[in-house]
């Protein structure tokens, strides 16, 4: 139960949110609790779309900002219910990203007249395939709900501003050969051996480093899966390598695909998945005001995050949250209580100045 | 029913044997028919061990030879009952190896006083895992039954002498790395990229060609399977390559294993499966006499066959049969009638000279 006392304390709120299990696809209970809590605030109008909960202020400010967080977590790894040790809360979702959700929920419940109008957005299925992502669904069915001048995604950044994000593309590069019995291997062509050339290209690849708006994006090109082979006595006729290209925001998806195809021009290349990068978008006045309150230089966001969905809708967006991104998805995931308090303080100062 | 008329004609006998289905594990009916037919011959003493049938002459010759064949076939592929088109018998088992079994059974029934004492050996489960192989079982439980000066396995060789066989070894070579999120790939070590060095070694490998007793063995070292990868956004920490080494009979299994370990000294190597090679064993007087009757130079056997089991017991052994080895296990498996007649003639001349 998200009582007013719990909603008023972002640390206590984090613990309560963490202890409501909400692995992707199983967010209904948590969405119910969030919706119920928000509907008690007279200054908010609340909507529910599946397991997406939207709450908005309507105070006729000239500008609107979005504070967004996903409700779901990766699968639990013997790390629930949460525990507290000194200044640290341990448990699944503490960093990614229920401590961030707690900051937004705390503000939603307690700031009746913010400096800008605010849309608080809590959504489901961020940790799974894009088609199920609640924000992605909303962007397609109700893009007008995402109209805003600026957005903050409360993903773990350890209290820094992480701006924009890299694009990500997956491709399958296939080496082919000809089957034969392995006792007469010279009658065949070994596709796994041929795939060595693909791995050599990957091993020798020098990824770019690109700086935009003071944010430095470091690219990466990696094999993430390899598979080949027919049977223990057959020269294999196919070897498939799935690669993942993380590209800086100065490249479009089309440019990224052309780059991958050029690198592996001797092989069949199938692009299987792609998401655009997002420019850091730090030029707007609201972004600058937020950066001033944070008081730290912005960093490039390296992972792909839903800020790219806002960027695609023309809404400048950045990541800012109390969790350590390096602890996301780990068995020993945790969040530092002082980081929660500091993040809450930054957002409150910015929204109520 | 294997009547005396059918037993006297290796071609007719082939058809009758083929039409008794005997997929591995289901040889009882065929073993029964073979046993019954052999027990009618006064010059043979017959034993049955499971679905292994042994029939021996005891004419006090100074030397004993074994003629052996397996009764089982691979699964039927819409190719039974057999059909005859011109000079060709079509059907499952025609080449591998009921035409060979027919030659042995024809001799067993009709040659009362062969030049050497003969043990005719018909066994089950050659086409499946070694533990079920009837010859392998007999070698363990009754090795004395396999004592002989020379053995011929009537596997398909298209009328040539194929001597000895290569050894075969499987090993898993593993490249290791360190996991990281693929958006921050420089924090990890990509095991699939590291496996490129293994593939380069395989691609550059120059297999040996070894000639023994006039038989040339061509080795091979091949990746037959590769697998690696954790998820589409994770730098993989392991890549496993299964390799198959086919080695000439001048190498023991231990030497073969040492060679593989040396080639991949920078990686973890696990030997997962191994079967020894067999020397061609053509030096004996009996082998020379047989080669003289065949009148063709011997060839190296490249695939692994049960001759290696005889070699392991100290019995020189070779393959000689009417079927085409390239048709074994194929849907359009077939045998040429003139090859059956020629093979029968060679064996009869050799055994009755």
Instruction: Tell me the per-residue pLDDT of B5-19, one tens digit each, with 9 for 90 and over.
Output: 999 999 999 999 999
Class of domain B167-275: alpha beta
What's the pLDDT score for residue B1? 81
For residues A346 and B230, the model is more confident at: A346
CA A10 – CA A13 distance, rounded (Å)? 5
Tokens of A43: 């200054």
**Contact flag B199-A202 (C-beta cutoff 8 Å):** no
Q: Select from B281, B282, B283 the least CA-distant residue to B311.
A: B281
- How does strand A299-300 pair with strand B167-176? unpaired
Tokens of B85: 């088109």
| Facing B199 at nearest CB: one of A192, A218, A273 | A192
What's chain A's Rg over C-alpha atoms? Answer: 23
Pick the CATH number of A4-164+278-352 from 3.40.1160.10, 3.40.50.1100, 3.40.50.150, 3.40.630.10: 3.40.630.10
Q: Select from B293, B197, B276, B286 the least CA-distant residue to B239.
A: B197
C-alpha angle B73-B74-B80 in degrees, rounded to nearest 5: 75
CA B353 – CA B346 distance, rounded (Å)? 10
| Facing B186 at nearest CB: one of A168, A218, A273 | A218
What average pLDDT does this structure show over B297-322? 89
For chain A, give every residue range classified as CATH 3.30.70.360: 167-275
Contact of B230 with chain A, judged by CB distance below 8 Å, is answered with yes
Q: What are phi and psi of B230, to 5 degrees?
A: -115, -55
Question: b or e along A146-160 (b: 16 or more beta carbons within 10 Å of the residue's beta carbon)?
Answer: bebbbbbbbbbbbbb
- What DSSP string runs through A315-346? --EEE--SS-GGGTT-TT-EEEHHHHHHHHHH
**Contact flag B184-A302 (C-beta cutoff 8 Å):** yes
The beta strands (E) that lie in chain B are given as 45-49, 52-56, 64-70, 83-85, 88-90, 117-123, 150-153, 162-163, 167-176, 180-181, 209-212, 215-218, 220-229, 234-235, 238-247, 268-275, 299-300, 317-319, 334-336
Contact A44, A57 (CB under 8 A): yes
- What DSSP string runs through A124-162? S--SS-GGG-HHHHHHHH-GGGG--SEEEE----TTS-E
Residues 108-147, chain A, touching B (beta carbon < 8 A):
none
CA B19 – CA B55 distance, rounded (Å)? 23
For the stretch A91-142, pLDDT in tens is 999 999 999 999 999 999 999 999 999 999 999 999 988 889 999 999 999 9
pTM higher than 0.80, yes or no?
A: no
A239 DSSP assignment: E
What's the pLDDT score for residue A244? 96
Handedness of CA A260, A265, A266, A271 (dihedral sign): positive
For the stretch B277-300, pLDDT in tens is 998 889 889 999 999 999 999 998
The catalytic residue among A72, A124, A127, A149 is A72
- How many residues appear in chain B? 353
With CA atoms as reference, the chain B residue closest to A129 would be: B232
What's the pLDDT score for residue A62? 96
DSSP helix, strand, coil percent of chain A (3-state; round to 5):
35, 30, 35
What's the pLDDT score for residue B83? 97
**Contact flag B239-A246 (C-beta cutoff 8 Å):** no
CA B219 – CA A184 distance, rounded (Å)? 8
CA B47 – CA A299 distance, rounded (Å)? 83
CA A107 – CA A10 distance, rounded (Å)? 9
What average pLDDT does this structure show over B222-231? 95
pLDDT band at B233 (very low <50, low <70, confident <90, very high): confident
Contact of A240 with chain B, judged by CB distance below 8 Å, is answered with no
Residues 137-196, chain B, touching A (beta carbon < 8 A):
166, 168, 170, 181-186, 190, 192-196
Tokens of A299: 């960093």
B67 has a pLDDT exceeding 90? yes
CA distances from B225 to A86, A106, A232, B18 (A): 50, 54, 7, 35
CA A74 – CA A330 distance, rounded (Å)? 9
- The three-class DSSP label of residue A246 is strand
Tokens of B322: 């009417």
Return the half-sphere exposure (C-beta side, CA atoms, 13 A cut-off) of residue A169: 27
B149 has a pLDDT exceeding 80? yes
B130 has a pLDDT exceeding 90? no
What's the pLDDT score for residue A196? 98
What's the pLDDT score for residue B156? 95
Residue A347 C-alpha, separation from nearest chain B C-alpha, in angstroms: 27
A47 carries an active-site annotation: no
With CA atoms as reference, the chain B residue closest to A248 would be: B183
Chain B residues close to A182, C-beta within 8 Å = 168, 220, 222, 224, 244, 246
The top-scoring range by mean pLDDT among A122-131, B181-190, B255-264 is: B255-264
Contact A199, B195 (CB under 8 A): yes
For chain A, give every residue range classified as CATH 3.40.630.10: 4-164+278-352
Stretches in chain A below the pLDDT threshold 50: none
What's the pLDDT score for residue B283? 85
Angle between helices B10-18 and B337-352 (to 10 degrees): 120
**Contact flag A228-B225 (C-beta cutoff 8 Å):** yes
**ipTM given for this complex:** 0.76
């Amino acid at each position: 139960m998200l009582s007013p006392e719990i909603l008023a304390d972002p640390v206590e709120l984090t613990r309560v949110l963490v202890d409501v299990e909400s692995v992707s696809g199983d967010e209904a209970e948590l969405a119910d609790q969030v919706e119920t809590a928000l509907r008690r605030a007279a200054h908010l109008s609340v909507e529910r779309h599946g397991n997406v909960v939207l709450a908005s202020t309507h105070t006729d400010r000239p500008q609107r900002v979005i504070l967004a967080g996903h409700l779901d977590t990766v699968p639990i790894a013997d790390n629930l219910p949460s525990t507290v040790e000194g200044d640290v809360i341990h448990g699944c979702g503490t960093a990614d990203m229920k401590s961030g959700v707690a900051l937004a929920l705390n503000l939603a419940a307690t700031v009746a007249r913010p400096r800008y109008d605010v849309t608080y957005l809590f959504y489901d299925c961020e940790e799974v395939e894009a088609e199920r992502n609640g924000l992605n669904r909303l962007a397609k069915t109700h893009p007008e709900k995402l109209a805003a001048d600026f957005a903050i995604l409360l993903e773990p950044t350890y209290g820094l501003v992480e701006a924009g994000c890299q694009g990500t593309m997956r491709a399958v590069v296939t080496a082919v050969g000809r089957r034969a019995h392995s006792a007469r291997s010279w009658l065949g062509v070994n596709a796994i051996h041929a795939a060595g050339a693909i791995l050599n290209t990957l091993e020798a690849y020098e990824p770019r480093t690109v700086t935009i708006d003071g944010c430095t994006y470091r690219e990466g090109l990696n094999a993430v899966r390899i598979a080949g082979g027919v049977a223990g006595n057959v020269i294999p006729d196919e070897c498939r390598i799935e690669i993942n290209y993380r590209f800086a925001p100065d490249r479009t998806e089309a440019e990224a695909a052309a780059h991958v195809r050029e690198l592996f021009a001797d092989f069949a290349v199938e692009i299987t998945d792609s998401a655009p990068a997002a420019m850091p978008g730090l030029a707007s006045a609201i972004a600058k005001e937020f950066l001033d309150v944070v008081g730290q230089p912005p960093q490039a966001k390296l992972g792909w995050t839903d800020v790219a969905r806002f960027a695609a809708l023309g809404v400048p967006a950045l990541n800012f949250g109390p969790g350590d991104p390096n602890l996301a998805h780990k068995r020993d995931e945790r969040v530092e209580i002082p980081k929660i308090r500091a993040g809450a303080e930054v957002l409150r100062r910015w929204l109520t100045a």
